[in-house]
Structure 1
Amino acid sequence: MSRPAISVKRVSADEERSFTELWLSSRVEAGISAEVAARAASEGRVATALRREDVRAYIATTEGRPVGFAVAATSPFSSLTDNPCVTIDQLYVVPEARKHGVARQLMTAVTLYADSRGCDQIGCNVPAQHREANRFFARLGFSSQVVRRVTSVAALRRRLGQDESGHSSLEALLHRRRSLRARDRASAGSRLAG
Protein backbone atom coordinates (compact mmCIF):
# COMPACT_ATOMS: atom_id res chain seq x y z
CA MET A 1 0.00 0.00 0.00
CA SER A 2 1.45 3.38 -1.00
CA ARG A 3 1.51 6.45 1.16
CA PRO A 4 -0.88 9.27 0.30
CA ALA A 5 0.71 12.24 -1.44
CA ILE A 6 1.79 15.05 0.87
CA SER A 7 1.33 18.62 -0.27
CA VAL A 8 3.10 21.49 1.51
CA LYS A 9 2.44 25.15 0.87
CA ARG A 10 2.88 28.48 2.57
CA VAL A 11 -0.05 29.43 4.80
CA SER A 12 -2.18 32.01 3.04
CA ALA A 13 -5.45 33.64 4.06
CA ASP A 14 -7.29 30.59 2.64
CA GLU A 15 -5.40 28.17 4.93
CA GLU A 16 -5.34 30.38 8.03
CA ARG A 17 -8.34 28.70 9.63
CA SER A 18 -6.96 25.19 9.03
CA PHE A 19 -3.57 26.31 10.35
CA THR A 20 -5.17 27.78 13.48
CA GLU A 21 -7.04 24.51 14.16
CA LEU A 22 -3.78 22.55 13.87
CA TRP A 23 -2.01 25.09 16.08
CA LEU A 24 -4.74 24.69 18.72
CA SER A 25 -4.30 20.89 18.56
CA SER A 26 -0.55 21.26 19.03
CA ARG A 27 -1.00 23.50 22.07
CA VAL A 28 -3.47 21.10 23.70
CA GLU A 29 -1.13 18.15 23.00
CA ALA A 30 1.68 20.19 24.63
CA GLY A 31 -0.38 20.45 27.82
CA ILE A 32 -1.98 23.88 27.41
CA SER A 33 -5.68 23.95 28.23
CA ALA A 34 -8.01 24.20 25.24
CA GLU A 35 -9.53 27.38 26.70
CA VAL A 36 -6.16 29.14 27.05
CA ALA A 37 -5.12 28.13 23.53
CA ALA A 38 -8.46 29.24 22.07
CA ARG A 39 -8.20 32.57 23.86
CA ALA A 40 -4.73 33.16 22.40
CA ALA A 41 -6.03 32.40 18.92
CA SER A 42 -9.12 34.59 19.34
CA GLU A 43 -6.94 37.46 20.57
CA GLY A 44 -5.21 37.39 17.19
CA ARG A 45 -1.86 35.91 18.21
CA VAL A 46 -1.81 33.46 15.30
CA ALA A 47 -3.01 35.97 12.71
CA THR A 48 -0.47 38.55 13.87
CA ALA A 49 2.40 36.06 13.70
CA LEU A 50 1.41 34.91 10.21
CA ARG A 51 1.53 38.48 8.92
CA ARG A 52 5.01 39.27 10.21
CA GLU A 53 7.61 39.67 7.47
CA ASP A 54 10.21 37.57 9.30
CA VAL A 55 7.85 34.63 9.94
CA ARG A 56 7.02 31.90 7.45
CA ALA A 57 4.41 29.23 8.13
CA TYR A 58 3.76 26.12 6.06
CA ILE A 59 0.87 23.70 6.17
CA ALA A 60 0.96 20.08 5.03
CA THR A 61 -2.07 18.25 3.69
CA THR A 62 -2.77 14.70 2.59
CA GLU A 63 -5.85 13.95 0.54
CA GLY A 64 -7.02 17.53 1.16
CA ARG A 65 -6.85 17.18 4.95
CA PRO A 66 -4.46 19.36 7.02
CA VAL A 67 -2.02 17.09 8.88
CA GLY A 68 0.86 19.29 10.00
CA PHE A 69 2.57 22.64 10.02
CA ALA A 70 5.93 24.31 10.46
CA VAL A 71 6.60 27.85 11.62
CA ALA A 72 9.99 29.39 10.96
CA ALA A 73 11.45 32.83 11.56
CA THR A 74 14.51 34.60 10.22
CA SER A 75 16.78 36.38 12.67
CA PRO A 76 20.47 36.60 13.50
CA PHE A 77 21.83 33.45 15.16
CA SER A 78 22.63 35.58 18.20
CA SER A 79 22.28 39.25 19.03
CA LEU A 80 26.03 39.71 18.62
CA THR A 81 26.25 38.40 15.04
CA ASP A 82 24.90 39.53 11.71
CA ASN A 83 24.65 36.06 10.20
CA PRO A 84 21.00 35.36 9.42
CA CYS A 85 19.55 32.08 10.61
CA VAL A 86 16.19 30.46 10.11
CA THR A 87 14.79 29.13 13.37
CA ILE A 88 12.03 26.55 13.38
CA ASP A 89 9.78 27.69 16.19
CA GLN A 90 7.22 24.94 15.81
CA LEU A 91 6.89 21.71 13.86
CA TYR A 92 3.75 19.69 14.40
CA VAL A 93 2.17 16.65 12.78
CA VAL A 94 -1.13 15.18 13.91
CA PRO A 95 -0.59 11.83 15.67
CA GLU A 96 -2.23 9.66 13.01
CA ALA A 97 -0.03 11.14 10.24
CA ARG A 98 3.30 10.75 12.04
CA LYS A 99 6.00 8.52 10.56
CA HIS A 100 4.62 9.01 7.06
CA GLY A 101 7.05 11.69 5.83
CA VAL A 102 4.99 14.78 6.69
CA ALA A 103 7.62 16.37 8.92
CA ARG A 104 10.34 15.71 6.32
CA GLN A 105 8.25 17.45 3.66
CA LEU A 106 7.73 20.42 5.98
CA MET A 107 11.49 20.52 6.63
CA THR A 108 12.10 20.57 2.88
CA ALA A 109 9.94 23.71 2.63
CA VAL A 110 11.84 25.33 5.52
CA THR A 111 15.15 24.49 3.84
CA LEU A 112 14.03 26.15 0.60
CA TYR A 113 12.94 29.19 2.62
CA ALA A 114 16.37 29.37 4.32
CA ASP A 115 18.07 29.20 0.92
CA SER A 116 15.87 32.01 -0.41
CA ARG A 117 16.81 34.19 2.59
CA GLY A 118 20.53 33.51 2.19
CA CYS A 119 20.81 31.72 5.51
CA ASP A 120 23.65 29.27 6.12
CA GLN A 121 22.12 27.78 9.25
CA ILE A 122 18.79 26.44 10.42
CA GLY A 123 18.07 26.12 14.13
CA CYS A 124 15.15 24.68 16.01
CA ASN A 125 13.54 24.91 19.42
CA VAL A 126 12.85 21.44 20.78
CA PRO A 127 11.66 20.82 24.35
CA ALA A 128 14.22 18.64 26.13
CA GLN A 129 11.56 16.16 27.27
CA HIS A 130 10.33 15.40 23.72
CA ARG A 131 12.52 12.43 22.85
CA GLU A 132 10.97 11.67 19.47
CA ALA A 133 11.33 15.27 18.29
CA ASN A 134 14.94 15.38 19.48
CA ARG A 135 15.68 12.11 17.67
CA PHE A 136 14.01 13.37 14.50
CA PHE A 137 16.15 16.52 14.39
CA ALA A 138 19.31 14.60 15.32
CA ARG A 139 18.71 12.20 12.41
CA LEU A 140 18.53 15.24 10.10
CA GLY A 141 21.92 16.47 11.32
CA PHE A 142 20.86 19.00 13.95
CA SER A 143 23.26 19.06 16.87
CA SER A 144 22.81 20.56 20.29
CA GLN A 145 24.40 24.01 20.23
CA VAL A 146 23.00 25.62 23.37
CA VAL A 147 20.74 24.70 26.22
CA ARG A 148 18.04 27.30 26.67
CA ARG A 149 16.87 27.51 30.25
CA VAL A 150 13.77 29.45 31.27
CA THR A 151 12.42 30.70 34.59
CA SER A 152 9.90 33.27 35.74
CA VAL A 153 10.99 36.73 36.86
CA ALA A 154 9.47 36.15 40.31
CA ALA A 155 11.34 32.86 40.80
CA LEU A 156 14.64 34.43 39.76
CA ARG A 157 14.04 37.40 42.05
CA ARG A 158 13.50 35.00 44.97
CA ARG A 159 16.65 33.06 44.13
CA LEU A 160 18.65 36.27 43.89
CA GLY A 161 17.25 37.40 47.22
CA GLN A 162 15.59 40.55 45.87
CA ASP A 163 12.46 42.23 47.15
CA GLU A 164 9.72 43.57 44.84
CA SER A 165 11.57 46.86 44.23
CA GLY A 166 14.57 44.96 42.88
CA HIS A 167 16.82 45.57 45.87
CA SER A 168 18.66 42.66 47.37
CA SER A 169 17.82 41.47 50.86
CA LEU A 170 21.29 42.49 52.00
CA GLU A 171 20.82 46.01 50.62
CA ALA A 172 17.45 46.28 52.33
CA LEU A 173 18.90 45.03 55.63
CA LEU A 174 21.81 47.52 55.48
CA HIS A 175 19.40 50.34 54.66
CA ARG A 176 17.21 49.47 57.67
CA ARG A 177 20.26 49.32 59.98
CA ARG A 178 21.51 52.71 58.76
CA SER A 179 18.07 54.20 59.30
CA LEU A 180 17.83 52.80 62.84
CA ARG A 181 21.32 54.08 63.70
CA ALA A 182 20.46 57.52 62.35
CA ARG A 183 17.28 57.59 64.44
CA ASP A 184 19.20 56.41 67.52
CA ARG A 185 21.81 59.17 67.03
CA ALA A 186 19.09 61.76 66.52
CA SER A 187 17.18 60.70 69.63
CA ALA A 188 20.42 60.49 71.71
CA GLY A 189 21.37 63.97 70.52
CA SER A 190 17.97 65.40 71.48
CA ARG A 191 18.19 63.75 74.94
CA LEU A 192 21.65 65.26 75.54
CA ALA A 193 20.47 68.69 74.37
CA GLY A 194 17.44 68.53 76.69
Structure 2
Amino acid sequence: MSRYSLTTRVATREDAPVLAELWSDAVRRADRSEQSADLELVVKGAAASPEQRVVVVEYDGQLAGAVYLRVTTLSPLNLEPCVQAIHPRVFDQFRRHGVGHTLMEAATSFAEENGILHVVTAVPHSSRDANRFMARLGLAPVVMYRIAPTTLLRSRVSPQRSALGADNGRTKVLAARRSLRRARAERLATLPEV
Protein backbone atom coordinates (compact mmCIF):
# COMPACT_ATOMS: atom_id res chain seq x y z
CA MET A 1 0.00 0.00 0.00
CA SER A 2 1.54 3.31 -1.05
CA ARG A 3 1.36 6.42 1.11
CA TYR A 4 0.14 9.64 -0.40
CA SER A 5 1.78 12.87 0.60
CA LEU A 6 0.13 15.89 2.16
CA THR A 7 1.49 19.30 1.16
CA THR A 8 0.58 22.57 2.84
CA ARG A 9 0.92 25.83 0.95
CA VAL A 10 -0.51 29.34 0.74
CA ALA A 11 -3.40 29.60 -1.71
CA THR A 12 -2.97 31.39 -5.03
CA ARG A 13 -5.55 33.13 -7.18
CA GLU A 14 -5.53 30.10 -9.49
CA ASP A 15 -7.02 28.06 -6.61
CA ALA A 16 -10.17 30.25 -6.56
CA PRO A 17 -12.40 27.97 -8.72
CA VAL A 18 -11.63 24.94 -6.55
CA LEU A 19 -12.06 27.01 -3.37
CA ALA A 20 -15.46 28.18 -4.67
CA GLU A 21 -16.47 24.54 -4.97
CA LEU A 22 -15.09 23.68 -1.51
CA TRP A 23 -16.71 26.68 0.21
CA SER A 24 -19.87 26.77 -1.92
CA ASP A 25 -22.13 26.91 1.14
CA ALA A 26 -20.02 29.58 2.84
CA VAL A 27 -19.71 32.18 0.08
CA ARG A 28 -22.46 34.46 -1.20
CA ARG A 29 -25.19 33.01 -3.36
CA ALA A 30 -24.17 33.69 -6.93
CA ASP A 31 -23.05 31.73 -9.94
CA ARG A 32 -19.76 29.87 -9.68
CA SER A 33 -17.80 32.44 -11.73
CA GLU A 34 -18.83 35.25 -9.36
CA GLN A 35 -17.93 33.10 -6.37
CA SER A 36 -14.52 32.40 -7.94
CA ALA A 37 -14.01 36.14 -8.52
CA ASP A 38 -14.90 36.82 -4.87
CA LEU A 39 -12.42 34.22 -3.69
CA GLU A 40 -9.71 35.62 -5.95
CA LEU A 41 -10.17 38.91 -4.09
CA VAL A 42 -10.08 37.13 -0.73
CA VAL A 43 -6.86 35.29 -1.64
CA LYS A 44 -5.30 38.48 -3.02
CA GLY A 45 -6.24 40.42 0.14
CA ALA A 46 -4.88 37.71 2.40
CA ALA A 47 -1.60 37.62 0.47
CA ALA A 48 -1.21 41.37 0.95
CA SER A 49 -1.73 41.24 4.74
CA PRO A 50 0.61 39.72 7.32
CA GLU A 51 -2.45 39.12 9.54
CA GLN A 52 -4.31 36.90 7.05
CA ARG A 53 -3.56 33.72 5.19
CA VAL A 54 -5.49 31.26 3.05
CA VAL A 55 -3.91 27.84 3.43
CA VAL A 56 -4.61 24.86 1.21
CA VAL A 57 -3.62 21.25 1.69
CA GLU A 58 -2.91 19.08 -1.31
CA TYR A 59 -3.30 15.33 -1.17
CA ASP A 60 -1.08 13.71 -3.77
CA GLY A 61 -1.11 16.92 -5.83
CA GLN A 62 -4.88 17.56 -5.64
CA LEU A 63 -6.36 20.37 -3.57
CA ALA A 64 -8.05 18.49 -0.73
CA GLY A 65 -8.92 21.18 1.81
CA ALA A 66 -8.47 24.80 2.82
CA VAL A 67 -8.80 27.21 5.73
CA TYR A 68 -8.83 31.00 5.97
CA LEU A 69 -6.68 32.25 8.86
CA ARG A 70 -7.00 35.70 10.39
CA VAL A 71 -5.40 37.44 13.36
CA THR A 72 -8.04 39.31 15.33
CA THR A 73 -9.35 39.63 18.89
CA LEU A 74 -11.48 37.12 20.77
CA SER A 75 -14.39 39.55 20.46
CA PRO A 76 -14.94 43.28 19.97
CA LEU A 77 -15.12 43.50 23.77
CA ASN A 78 -12.33 41.05 24.68
CA LEU A 79 -9.20 42.42 23.04
CA GLU A 80 -7.02 39.38 23.66
CA PRO A 81 -5.55 38.39 20.28
CA CYS A 82 -6.45 35.10 18.64
CA VAL A 83 -6.20 33.37 15.29
CA GLN A 84 -9.52 32.58 13.67
CA ALA A 85 -9.49 29.43 11.55
CA ILE A 86 -12.45 30.27 9.34
CA HIS A 87 -14.23 27.48 7.47
CA PRO A 88 -11.69 24.68 7.64
CA ARG A 89 -13.04 22.36 4.96
CA VAL A 90 -12.04 19.08 3.38
CA PHE A 91 -13.52 17.58 0.23
CA ASP A 92 -15.51 14.42 1.04
CA GLN A 93 -13.22 12.10 -0.93
CA PHE A 94 -10.20 13.24 1.13
CA ARG A 95 -11.72 12.87 4.59
CA ARG A 96 -9.98 10.60 7.08
CA HIS A 97 -6.63 11.11 5.36
CA GLY A 98 -5.18 13.71 7.75
CA VAL A 99 -6.17 16.77 5.72
CA GLY A 100 -8.27 18.37 8.49
CA HIS A 101 -5.52 17.73 11.01
CA THR A 102 -3.01 19.36 8.67
CA LEU A 103 -5.26 22.43 8.26
CA MET A 104 -5.52 22.88 12.02
CA GLU A 105 -1.77 22.33 12.33
CA ALA A 106 -1.35 25.25 9.89
CA ALA A 107 -3.63 27.37 12.08
CA THR A 108 -1.55 26.48 15.14
CA SER A 109 1.69 27.33 13.35
CA PHE A 110 0.26 30.67 12.18
CA ALA A 111 -0.70 31.48 15.78
CA GLU A 112 2.77 30.55 17.01
CA GLU A 113 4.43 32.67 14.30
CA ASN A 114 2.43 35.65 15.52
CA GLY A 115 2.91 34.95 19.24
CA ILE A 116 -0.80 34.35 19.79
CA LEU A 117 -2.08 32.10 22.56
CA HIS A 118 -5.54 31.14 21.24
CA VAL A 119 -6.95 29.59 18.08
CA VAL A 120 -10.70 29.74 17.50
CA THR A 121 -12.77 28.17 14.77
CA ALA A 122 -16.35 27.85 13.69
CA VAL A 123 -17.86 24.78 12.14
CA PRO A 124 -21.48 24.23 11.08
CA HIS A 125 -23.61 23.28 14.06
CA SER A 126 -25.21 20.54 11.97
CA SER A 127 -21.90 18.85 11.17
CA ARG A 128 -21.52 16.26 13.87
CA ASP A 129 -18.24 14.95 12.43
CA ALA A 130 -16.65 18.40 12.29
CA ASN A 131 -17.73 19.22 15.84
CA ARG A 132 -16.38 15.91 17.15
CA PHE A 133 -13.12 16.45 15.27
CA MET A 134 -12.65 19.91 16.80
CA ALA A 135 -13.50 18.56 20.26
CA ARG A 136 -10.87 15.82 19.88
CA LEU A 137 -8.32 18.54 19.08
CA GLY A 138 -9.22 20.32 22.32
CA LEU A 139 -11.38 23.14 20.94
CA ALA A 140 -14.29 23.72 23.33
CA PRO A 141 -17.61 25.35 22.42
CA VAL A 142 -17.86 28.92 23.70
CA VAL A 143 -20.72 30.61 21.85
CA MET A 144 -23.35 29.75 19.30
CA TYR A 145 -23.29 32.09 16.33
CA ARG A 146 -26.80 32.70 15.02
CA ILE A 147 -27.96 34.42 11.84
CA ALA A 148 -31.29 35.64 10.42
CA PRO A 149 -32.37 37.78 7.49
CA THR A 150 -32.85 41.39 8.55
CA THR A 151 -36.48 41.43 7.37
CA LEU A 152 -37.32 38.38 9.48
CA LEU A 153 -35.68 39.85 12.54
CA ARG A 154 -37.49 43.17 12.00
CA SER A 155 -40.84 41.37 11.87
CA ARG A 156 -40.05 39.60 15.15
CA VAL A 157 -38.56 42.44 17.20
CA SER A 158 -41.14 45.10 16.34
CA PRO A 159 -44.60 44.27 15.01
CA GLN A 160 -45.69 46.09 11.89
CA ARG A 161 -47.57 49.28 12.59
CA SER A 162 -50.56 48.32 10.46
CA ALA A 163 -50.98 45.09 12.40
CA LEU A 164 -50.53 47.01 15.65
CA GLY A 165 -53.27 49.48 14.67
CA ALA A 166 -55.65 46.72 13.64
CA ASP A 167 -54.99 44.80 16.82
CA ASN A 168 -55.48 47.93 18.91
CA GLY A 169 -58.80 48.67 17.17
CA ARG A 170 -59.96 45.10 17.68
CA THR A 171 -59.14 45.37 21.37
CA LYS A 172 -61.24 48.55 21.68
CA VAL A 173 -64.23 46.91 19.98
CA LEU A 174 -64.03 43.89 22.28
CA ALA A 175 -63.78 46.14 25.33
CA ALA A 176 -66.83 48.13 24.21
CA ARG A 177 -68.83 44.91 23.72
CA ARG A 178 -67.91 43.73 27.19
CA SER A 179 -69.00 47.05 28.67
CA LEU A 180 -72.34 46.83 26.88
CA ARG A 181 -72.88 43.28 28.17
CA ARG A 182 -72.11 44.35 31.73
CA ALA A 183 -74.43 47.33 31.49
CA ARG A 184 -77.24 45.12 30.11
CA ALA A 185 -76.68 42.56 32.86
CA GLU A 186 -76.85 45.30 35.51
CA ARG A 187 -80.07 46.72 34.03
CA LEU A 188 -81.63 43.26 33.92
CA ALA A 189 -80.62 42.69 37.54
CA THR A 190 -82.30 45.94 38.67
CA LEU A 191 -85.60 45.38 36.83
CA PRO A 192 -88.43 44.27 39.05
CA GLU A 193 -89.62 40.77 38.52
CA VAL A 194 -92.98 40.40 36.91
TM-score by length of 1: 0.73
CA drift at 1:34: 8.3
Distance 1:139 1:150, change over 3 A: same
- The unaligned stretches of length 5 or more in structure 1 are 164-168, 174-194
SS in 2 for 1:123: strand
Compute the displacement of 1:83 (Å): 0.9
Match of 1:26 in 2: 22
Q: Which runs of 4+ in 1 moved over 2 A?
A: 30-38, 40-52
CA–CA distance in structure 2, aligned partners of residues 83 and 134 of structure 1 = 24
2: CA distance, partners of 1:62 / 1:133: 19
Shift of 1:35: 4.8
Q: CA RMSD in A?
A: 2.6
- Asked if 2 retains the 8 angstrom alpha-carbon contact of 1:72 and 1:90, the reply is no
Larger Rg: 2
Identity %: 24
Report how far residue 82 of structure 1 moved. 2.1
TM-score, length of structure 2 as denominator length: 0.73
Within-5 A mapping of 1:1-194: 1-11=1-11, 15-18=12-15, 20-28=16-24, 30=25, 35-43=30-38, 44-51=40-47, 53=49, 54-161=51-158, 169=161
Identify if the C-alpha distance between structure 1 residues 4 and 117 changes in structure 2 by more than 3 Å, giving closer, same or farther.
Answer: same
How many Å separate the matches in 1 of 2:65 and 2:59? 9
**SS of 1:9 mapped into structure 2:** strand
CA distance in 2, matches of 1:127, 1:84: 23
Per the TM alignment, residue 47 of structure 1 is displaced from its structure 2 partner at its CA by: 3.8
1:33–1:109 distance in 2 versus 1, CA, 3 Å: closer
Does the CA-based 8 Å contact 1:22-1:68 persist in structure 2? no
